[in-house]
């Protein structure tokens, strides 16, 4: 005779799997958000550096080399 798990055990197993999936999805969202913020910061830094370089060049910095 085969032993069949109780309905409560099946429910508990389903809830456990659902919880695991939910945790993995939350972790993936967190990593994705962190990567998006890192790229945004990098872009802001690059734009700031470009602005500073343009300001230096417009102030005659390049004329000092001649």
Q: Tokens for 31, please give them.
A: 């990593």
**How many Å apart are CA 35 and CA 29, to the nearest integer?**
10
What's the CA angle centered on 14, arms 28 and 16, to 5 degrees? 55
Q: Give tens-digit pLDDT for 10-60.
A: 999 999 999 999 999 999 999 999 999 999 999 999 999 999 999 888 887
Task: Please give the C-alpha separations between residue 27 and each of 4, 23, 24, 59, in angstroms, as whole numbers.
Answer: 34, 6, 5, 48
Confidence (pTM): 0.60
**How many Å apart are CA 38 and CA 64, to the nearest integer?**
36
Distance, C-alpha 4 to centroid of its chain: 44
Q: What is the pLDDT of residue 59?
A: 80
């Amino acid at each position: 005779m085969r032993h069949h798990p109780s309905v409560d055990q099946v429910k508990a197993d389903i809830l456990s799997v659902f919880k695991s999936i939910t945790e993995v999805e939350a972790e993936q969202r967190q990593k994705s958000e962190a990567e998006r913020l890192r790229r945004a910061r990098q872009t802001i830094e690059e734009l700031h550096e470009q602005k500073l370089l343009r300001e230096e060049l417009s102030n005659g910095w390049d004329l000092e080399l001649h």
